[in-house]
């Protein structure tokens, strides 16, 4: 029996208000799509089966390096975070798993699993943290972790990743994501080749310890916290890592980790072509690793990424099952609302990509009809698929309008009474 955070009758009452309008919008969209030869029911079922993991670290207010302005009812620890994640899933029916970050979420794995089970939540990729020092650790990561010049520091960072695998095994995770902050701030500070050799050596040890049914994701990022060079700076380096380590190693693409204007969908296509796309950290950005809500800035780019994913699905690319995860930081919104909205935007991009007429597109590409090829994508993108998203949620027991239902439930007000106000101040997390 799942421990529901929002009373069923609140969802039912909110859905009741919107049911008639949804029925009529869904029917109208069904007719439009049927004229295009698309069966709305097939799309709705695919959308209902599409899931994305929420990051445990996303349900609290993030902050910037200047300040953190906590909201009310901030989670006090991992169990409060899981409660908040359960709310997001209950209303969206799109986020049945949580991605944990260790040591931030470190606690007895048995309790983690039990709480996850009680809330109807599973666990997606584990994330290690060797980009900040944990209390009492012997060696500092100030000058790097897996690529550090000092062998003892590297050993400590490797050991931490092995611990993440052990925790993950106990809670049913099947992947480890490794993002390191290693790099340099000054030309000459670090030897590019030697630093990368040391990184590869450390990663090989982590790879060795990986269970056979696990995947190892390396996540690249162009800069920050290192501002001159970063050891795993782009998808090319990331591909080299995955290729060097072996078949269980894959590249993770965080949408915010590229130079502005980078053609991310093309990177996605390349990684798919060479069997090394591991998964995503979805978010949006305007300038850098802004960690804004998915689809908030450039929803067309999100659609174009999904266009590549659906194209791969359509072609039946072997072994293609990327992990879908969100990685965001919320400073001015209620994090639960932001994550609800992002889960919906991600499903929206998926639904729109499913509407692309692939046979027509193939033809236009072969005939070099640039305008009609572009129009084919635009036609799918311009389709308002909201009735499909709402209907998929409704059929799975979620909310037709999840943000409105969340507000009507009074969940935030309730946890504000239970959870003491957390401290604001300078220096956020990521
Ligand atoms: C680094 C990053 C990485 C971390 C997370 C907190 O910028 O994207 O995925 O684990 O942020
Ligand atoms: Mn990330
Ligand atoms: Mn990031």
> What's the 340 CA to ligand 2 centre distance in angstroms?
18
Cis peptide bond upstream of 225, omega within 30: yes
Gap between the Cα atoms of 402 and 181, Å rounded: 36
Gap between the Cα atoms of 384 and 32, Å rounded: 11
Render pLDDT for 259-311 as a digit per residue (tens, 0 to 9): 999 999 999 999 999 999 999 999 999 999 999 999 999 999 999 999 999 99
Please check whether residue 1 lies inside any domain of the structure.
Answer: no
DSSP-assigned states of every residue in 33-52: HHHTT--HHHHHHHHHT---
pLDDT at 18: 98
Reduced to 3 states (helix: H, G, I; strand: E, B; else coil), residue 188 is: coil
Ligand that lies nearest to the alpha carbon of residue 177, given by its number in the listed order: 1
Render pLDDT for 394-413 as a digit per residue (tens, 0 to 9): 999 999 999 999 999 999 99
Work out the angle at residue 121's Cα, subtended by the Cα atoms of residues 4 and 22, and round it to the nearest 5 degrees: 60
Q: Does the pLDDT at position 59 exceed 80?
A: yes
pLDDT at 373: 99
Gap between the Cα atoms of 40 and 32, Å rounded: 9
CA-wise closest residue to 239 among 265, 215, 211, 220: 220
Please check whether residue 3 lies inside any domain of the structure.
Answer: no
pLDDT at 422: 79
DSSP-assigned states of every residue in 50-68: ---BEEGGGSSB---SS-B
Ligand 1 proximity of 127 Cβ (cutoff 6 Å): yes
What is the pairing mode between strands 215-219 and 175-178? parallel
Please check whether residue 63 lies inside any domain of the structure.
Answer: yes
- The best mutation among 127, 129, 160, 219 to test binding of ligand 1, ranked by most ligand atoms within 8 Å of the C-beta, falls on 219
Q: Torsions phi, psi of 252, nearest 5?
A: -105, 130
What average pLDDT does this structure show over 216-245?
98
Q: At 386, which CATH number?
A: 3.20.20.150
What average pLDDT does this structure show over 191-215?
99
| Cβ pair 99, 400 in contact under 8 A | no
Neighbours of 327 (CB within 10 A): 29
Please check whether residue 404 lies inside any domain of the structure.
Answer: yes
> What's the 25 CA to ligand 1 centre distance in angstroms?
39
% pLDDT > 90, the chain:
96
Side-chain half-sphere exposure of 149, counting CA atoms within 13 A: 8
Please check whether residue 359 lies inside any domain of the structure.
Answer: yes
What average pLDDT does this structure show over 151-168?
98
Q: 282: which strand partners?
A: 326
Ligand 1 proximity of 281 Cβ (cutoff 6 Å): yes
Render pLDDT for 95-121 as a digit per residue (tens, 0 to 9): 999 999 999 999 999 999 999 999 999
| Cβ pair 287, 260 in contact under 8 A | yes
> What's the 383 CA to ligand 3 centre distance in angstroms?
31
Gap between the Cα atoms of 126 and 165, Å rounded: 7
What average pLDDT does this structure show over 234-256?
98
What is the pairing mode between strands 229-230 and 277-282? unpaired
Please check whether residue 415 lies inside any domain of the structure.
Answer: yes
**Distant-in-sequence, close-in-space partners of 78: CB < 8 Å, separation ≥ 6:** 56, 100, 104, 105, 107, 112
Q: Does the pLDDT at position 375 exceed 60?
A: yes
Gap between the Cα atoms of 301 and 279, Å rounded: 16
Please check whether residue 389 lies inside any domain of the structure.
Answer: yes
Handedness of CA 374, 376, 377, 381 (dihedral sign): positive
pLDDT at 425: 55
Work out the angle at residue 187's Cα, subtended by the Cα atoms of residues 181 and 188, and round it to the nearest 5 degrees: 100
What average pLDDT does this structure show over 133-141?
97
Please check whether residue 2 lies inside any domain of the structure.
Answer: no
> What's the 40 CA to ligand 3 centre distance in angstroms?
36
Q: Nearest C-alpha to atom 3 of ligand 1 is from which residue?
A: 179
CA-wise closest residue to 388 among 91, 23, 26, 15: 26
pLDDT at 35: 98
Q: Torsions phi, psi of 429, nearest 5?
A: -95, -85
Q: 277: which strand partners?
A: 251
Which domain does 218 fall in, by range?
8-426
> What's the 327 CA to ligand 1 centre distance in angstroms?
7
Q: Nearest C-alpha to atom 1 of ligand 1 is from which residue?
A: 179
pLDDT at 424: 66
Reduced to 3 states (helix: H, G, I; strand: E, B; else coil), residue 13 is: helix
What average pLDDT does this structure show over 4-22?
97
Q: Does the pLDDT at position 52 exceed 60?
A: yes
CA-wise closest residue to 164 among 201, 96, 198, 214: 214
Identify residues whose C-beta is under 5 A from ligand 2, the ion.
Answer: 254, 281, 327
Q: Nearest C-alpha to atom 9 of ligand 1 is from which residue?
A: 179
| Cβ pair 265, 307 in contact under 8 A | yes
Mean predicted lDDT score pLDDT of the chain: 97
CA-wise closest residue to 329 among 287, 281, 285, 292: 292
Ligand 1 proximity of 230 Cβ (cutoff 6 Å): no
What average pLDDT does this structure show over 49-66?
95
Q: How many folded domains does the chain comprise?
A: 1
ipTM: 0.99
Gap between the Cα atoms of 393 and 227, Å rounded: 43
């Amino acid at each position: 029996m799942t421990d529901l955070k929002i009373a069923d009758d609140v969802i039912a009452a909110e859905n009741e208000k919107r049911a008639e309008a949804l029925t009529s919008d869904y029917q109208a969209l069904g007719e439009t799509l049927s004229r295009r030869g698309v069966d709305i029911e097939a799309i709705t079922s695919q959308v209902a089966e599409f899931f994305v993991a929420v990051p445990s670290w996303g349900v609290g207010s993030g902050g910037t390096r200047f300040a953190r302005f906590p909201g009310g009812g901030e989670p006090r620890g991992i169990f409060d975070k899981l409660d908040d994640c359960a709310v997001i899933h209950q209303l969206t029916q799109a986020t049945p798993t949580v991605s944990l970050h260790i040591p931030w979420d470190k606690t007895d794995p048995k309790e983690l699993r039990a709480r996850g089970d009680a809330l109807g939540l599973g666990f997606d990729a584990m994330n290690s943290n060797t980009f900040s020092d944990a209390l009492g650790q012997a060696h500092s990561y100030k000058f790097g972790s897996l690529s550090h010049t000092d062998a003892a520091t590297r050993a400590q960072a490797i050991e931490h990743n092995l611990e993440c695998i052990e925790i993950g095994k106990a809670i049913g995770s099947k992947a480890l994501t490794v993002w390191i902050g290693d790099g340099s701030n000054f030309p000459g500070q670090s030897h590019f080749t030697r630093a990368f050799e040391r990184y590869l050596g450390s990663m090989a040890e982590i790879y060795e310890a990986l269970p056979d049914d696990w995947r190892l994701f390396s996540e690249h990022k162009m800069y920050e916290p290192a501002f001159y060079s970063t050891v795993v700076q782009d998808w090319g380096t990331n591909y080299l890592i995955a290729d060097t380590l072996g078949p269980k190693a894959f590249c993770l693409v965080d949408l915010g980790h590229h130079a502005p204007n980078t053609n991310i969908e093309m990177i996605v296509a390349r990684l798919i072509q060479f069997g090394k796309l591991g998964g995503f950290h979805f978010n949006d950005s305007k300038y850098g690793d802004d960690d804004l809500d998915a689809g908030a800035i450039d929803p067309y780019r999100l659609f174009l990424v999904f266009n590549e994913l659906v194209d791969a699905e359509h072609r039946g690319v072997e072994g293609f099952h990327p992990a879908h995860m969100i990685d965001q930081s919320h400073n001015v919104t209620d994090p639960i609302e932001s994550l609800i909205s992002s889960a919906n935007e991600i499903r929206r991009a998926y639904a729109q990509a499913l509407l692309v007429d692939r046979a027509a597109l193939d033809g236009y590409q072969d005939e070099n009809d640039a305008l009609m090829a572009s129009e084919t994508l635009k036609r799918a993108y311009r389709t308002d698929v909201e009735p499909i998203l709402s209907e998929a949620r409704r059929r799975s027991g979620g909310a037709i309008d999840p943000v409105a239902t969340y507000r009507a439930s009074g969940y935030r007000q309730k946890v504000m009474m239970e959870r003491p106000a957390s401290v604001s101040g300078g220096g956020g997390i990521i």
